[in-house]
Amino acid sequence: MPRSLRVAILLAFALAVAAGAGCDGEPPAPNGGAGPDRPAPPADWPMFHAAPDLRGAVAGHLPDALTPVWTFETDGPIFGGAAVVGERVYVGSADFKVYALDLATGAKVWSHETEGEIHGVPLVLEGTICVGSGDGRLYALAASDGSVRWTYETDDRIAGAANTWQAPDGGGARILVGGYDSFLHCLDAADGTVLWKVETGNYINGTPAVAGGLAVFGGCDGLLHVVDLAEGRQTTTIDAETYVAASPAMAGGLVYAGNVEGLFLCANPVTRWPQWKYQPEATEFFATPAVGDTAVFVGGRDKRLHALDREFGDVLWTFATRGDVDSSPVLVGEKVLFGSGDGRLYMVRAADGRQVWAYDLGAAVTASPAVAGRRVLVGTEDGTLYCFGPKEKQQ
């Protein structure tokens, strides 16, 4: 089929779907649910967007409707979201604290106070909670009781989450974190010793994506930086044209990222060659994409979730909300979860963008959802962490 005809068909399909999707669309479309005979998503969600490549995609099935199980109140906005490992939930807040909660009940197990706002999702690594703070420090806390194992100090605040990679030849776990000091820092996970730093031209807002021995991250210098992890050096950069506020995602040897002027691109981090570019009208991208096998999902400040063909970047469908979509979507089996500035948590079908379920949280959502088994956790800008689970009849 000629590509021009293929694009026309996709656009027609997207327009038809958009007419029936979103807040004012047709009734939600059932999706078969997720009964006990269907596999649940993985029990743990140990970091931002689930895994080091930041694809934000996991296997398993969620039911068509969720219900609140518990809530936990902090004293500041929750911008990043939660991590879940071993029946514990870890979440940071702009009230300067990181909290450990019981997954079943939401009861506080411990909290640790830093000297700055916490915007990133905690990284859970081998019994240690790693979280950056606006005070410029990366804290390594014992998962059991929140006691400090070590801290590492940068020269400015840390806005994004930390990531991890395993050094070759048995060298152990490493931690990567970027900051407003314009450096990407690589630390020994055991004691916080700095192993190397890569300098960029401006602030680093997000989390580096890690895959294939490379780390890729963006910043306010308008570049995507590509770093060889084993050598600790920058190998090349990709022109993103202007500020990159969100974290990129990596999949299949390619990197996916958007900028603050509404350009979303897919590029090869080795050759620097853009595979495709997508730029809808009147939007900005402040969200990390979720990357599935055939489609990419990203939220925009045009109040829409955009679904794009992974190979060519053609628009498949868009889903309209009533607020900016800065919440980084996650793909769980055949469904996409994301929050909106309109205060709702949405679940839509990945195939066609039809709404499956939504819940009004009463405050803007910029945090990315976390999925642990059949539990979904999401924070709001009024400082509330919500935990959702299946309705009684679907458990």
Task: Give the three-state DSSP class for 175.
Answer: strand
- Calculate the CA dihedral of residues 70, 73, 78, 80 and round it to 10 degrees: -40
HSE-CB at 125 with a 13 A cutoff on CA atoms is: 29
Task: Give the three-state DSSP class for 98.
Answer: strand
The residue to which tokens 């599935």 are assigned? 292
- Model pLDDT, residue 363: 98
- Model pLDDT, residue 140: 98
Residues 219/204, Cβ–Cβ less than 8 Å: yes
pLDDT above 60 for 14: no
pLDDT above 70 for 4: no
Comparing CA positions, the residue from 241, 370, 353 lying closest to residue 297 is 353
| pLDDT tens digits for range 343-371 | 999 999 999 999 999 999 999 999 999 99
Tell the burial category of 7 from Cβ atoms under 10 Å away from its Cβ (0-12, 13-18, 19+): middle
- Model pLDDT, residue 169: 80
108/135 Cα distance (integer angstroms): 24
Range of lowest pLDDT (37-41, 184-188, 391-395): 391-395
Q: Phi and psi of 3, rounded to 5°?
A: -65, -35
Confidence of residue 36 (pLDDT cuts 50, 70, 90): low
| Neighbour order of strands in the sheet with 370-372 | 66-73, 384-390, 375-379, 370-372
Q: At 201, which amino acid appears?
A: G
74/152 Cα distance (integer angstroms): 25
pLDDT above 70 for 382: yes
Cβ density class 347-384: b for 16+ within 10 Å, e for less: bbbbbbbbbbbbbebebbbbbbbbbbbbbbbbbbbebb
165/32 Cα distance (integer angstroms): 37
- Model pLDDT, residue 393: 53
Task: Give the three-state DSSP class for 251.
Answer: strand
pLDDT above 60 for 90: yes
Bigger pLDDT: 158 or 15?
Answer: 158
> What radius of gyration, in Å, describes the C-alpha atoms of the chain?
20
| pLDDT tens digits for range 38-81 | 899 999 999 999 999 999 999 999 999 999 999 999 999 999 99
Residues 186/176, Cβ–Cβ less than 8 Å: yes
Domains of the chain: 3-394 (2.130.10.10)
pLDDT above 80 for 162: yes
How much of the chain exceeds pLDDT 90, in percent?
Answer: 88
- Model pLDDT, residue 34: 52
pLDDT above 50 for 28: no
- Model pLDDT, residue 252: 98
Comparing CA positions, the residue from 370, 334, 357 lying closest to residue 67 is 357
Bigger pLDDT: 26 or 256?
Answer: 256
- Model pLDDT, residue 19: 31
C-alpha to C-alpha distances, 188 to 125, 133, 138, 171, 199, nearest whole angstrom: 12, 19, 12, 9, 18
This prediction's pTM? 0.91
Query: Which stretches of the chain are DSSP H helices?
Result: 3-20
pLDDT above 50 for 22: no
What tokens were used for 148? 């400090």
Residues 220/232, Cβ–Cβ less than 8 Å: no
pLDDT above 90 for 10: no
Comparing CA positions, the residue from 300, 363, 355 lying closest to residue 326 is 300
How much of the chain exceeds pLDDT 70, in percent?
Answer: 90
